[in-house]
Every structure is written in structure tokens, then in C-alpha cells.
Amino acid sequence: MRLMSEAVQARLQQTFPMHRLVWLKTSDSTHLEGARLWRSEAASWVVVADSQSAGRGRYGRSWESAPGVNIYLSLVWQNPFGRELGLLNLFWGVVVWQSLLAVFPSLNERLTLKWPNDVYVERRKLAGILMQNLDAELKQTLVGIGINVYARQDQIPPTATSLLQELPPHILGDEARVKIVEELLHRLHSPGLTACCEDPQQLREKFWQAAARCRRQTYAYQGVSPVEGTLHGLYDDGTVDILSEQGGLVHLCM
């Protein structure tokens, strides 16, 4: 299944002239490619690949990147949150969570955003986001988004899921990857999310709503040391308190 036909690529480039869209059949990592492109020219690059040979995850982990089935996308983004890394991370989680729900509203009851920006379907991870600063002032960031779309269960970790596992075939369709990428780019320029960049309170409210399931159910979080618990509180800077299974509050920050 091809990620983007040339006609779709041309249409998207026309719709989003502010970005420089690059479509790759294979890449080591769209994140590495995005950083290379940025060093060669400081433009608003969006790099999408059909496969990655060295996909990267957070905390130095790798990201399973089976060919031809998922979304591997990195984009250069002007960061309005400055050094507030907590807010930056919440923002991208909300963008991906909202985009997936916009394309597949029937996921509504099961999709959740787990702090800081992992998207889960119930207990399993569907999408992850990786951030990298491109300058010392954190003005430009590279945002890497991995979304499991058509992956079979044996192509992703046991703790992960894909849209293929979660949706009936007639709902998922053949064009899910194009639809999601298009929705992500549209959403990024939508008034609702632009408002979140200017008003962090709106962003915190959207995150709190998206993370509703994590307030009721226990999830594992990566802090200074790993902790399992429920989401208990959200601070102005986007950091959170987790109520651990032992009953204590653990403050998590980026």
C-alpha cells in the first residue's frame, strides 16, 4: 500500500505552501533526516517516510518501523512555548490525539492521551512523539510522530496496538495514512490549536479532557524512576502529579 501518490503529494504541497514536504520511500529515521535538512536549510520541513531502518523513540529507545504500514513523520516547528517543555509536550499530544479522533470518531470512548504525549487505545500504545531542540533557545523544534496504522500485532511491540487491531476494516479503509497526515497538518493551522499556543489554560483544559481515562485507570509512567498510578493533578507548566498505587503523590516533569 503506497503512503502517498504523486497526485496527493502535489495536492498537499499546494495546500500547505508554508511547509517543505518531503516524501521518502525509505529513511534511516525521519528525525535524523529532518535534522539534516534543517542544517542544510532552515526551512519548515515536513518529512514523511514509508519505512525507517533506525526509528528512534524517547529515552534512547528504538521505534518499531515496519515498512509500508505506519506513519513516520518529522516536522520542524516554531515553538511558541519557549522553555516550557511541559506545555510543548502537551501541545503535541493534543494535536495527535485530536487528529486521530477527527479521522476516526468511533475511537472516542477508547482513545486516551497519557502524559506527556503518548496516545493509547485503552491499555496499549498507538502513537508516540519525540521532541528535539534545533537551537539553544528552543525556538525551533523537531517533532517526530509515529502512528501505528496497518501494522499487524507481530510488527509492533506487545504493549502497542495499531488502528488495524482496533477498527473494523470498512472504517479503517485503505487511505488512513493519507487522511491522518492531512488532518495533522490542517489541525496544526486551525484556530483552535493556534489559540492554545497563546493561551496555555486552553491547552491544559484540552489535555485534561483527552487524558480522562488516565485519571480513572492505572498506567505506567517514566519519571526519575518508573511509577504506576492514576493522573491526579496538572500544574501550570504542564508537569503532573501521579497518585501511585502505594498512595503517594509523585511529581513528573520533562
Which residues lie near ligand BTN (CB under 6 A)? 29-31, 52, 55-58, 61, 63, 72-74, 118, 128-130, 144-146
Q: Which residues of 73-108 are buried (b: 16+ CB within 10 A; e: fewer)?
A: bbbbbebebeebbbbbbbbbbbbbbbbbbebbeebe
* CB-based contacts of 37, cutoff 8 Å, min separation 6: 20, 22, 43, 45, 47, 76
Shortest CB 191 distance to ligand BTN, Å:
27
Q: Quote the least distance from Cβ 219 to ligand BTN, whole Å.
A: 14
Amino acid at 154: D
| CB contact at 8 A, 172 and 162 | no
Query: Which residue's CB atom is positioned nearest to ligand BTN?
Result: 128
Residue 38: name the closest of 129, 130, 143, 182 by CA: 143
**Percentage helix, strand, coil for the chain under 3-state DSSP, each rounded to 5:** 35, 25, 35
Query: Which of residues 71 and 227 has its CB atom nearest to ligand BTN in the complex?
Result: 71
We find the least distance from the C-beta atom of residue 211 to ligand BTN, in angstroms, to be 16
Q: How far is the CB of 199 from ligand BTN (least distance, A)?
A: 27
Closest approach, Cβ 151 to ligand BTN, in A, equals 12
- Nearer CB in complex with ligand BTN: 12/49: 49
DSSP string, 10-33: HHHHHH-TTSEEEEES-BS-HHHH
Q: Please, which residue, 93 or 229, has the CB nearer to ligand BTN?
A: 93
- Radius of gyration from C-alpha coordinates of the chain: 17
Closer CB to ligand BTN, 113 or 130, in the complex: 130
Shortest Cβ 144–ligand BTN spacing (Å): 3
Q: Which three cell numbers stand for residue 127?
A: 502513537
Helix (H, G, I), strand (E, B) or coil at 150: coil
Q: Give the span between the Cα atoms of 53 and 34, in whole angstroms.
A: 15
Residue 77 Cβ vs ligand BTN, minimum distance, rounded to whole Å: 13
Q: Which is nearer to ligand BTN, 51 or 202 (CB)?
A: 51
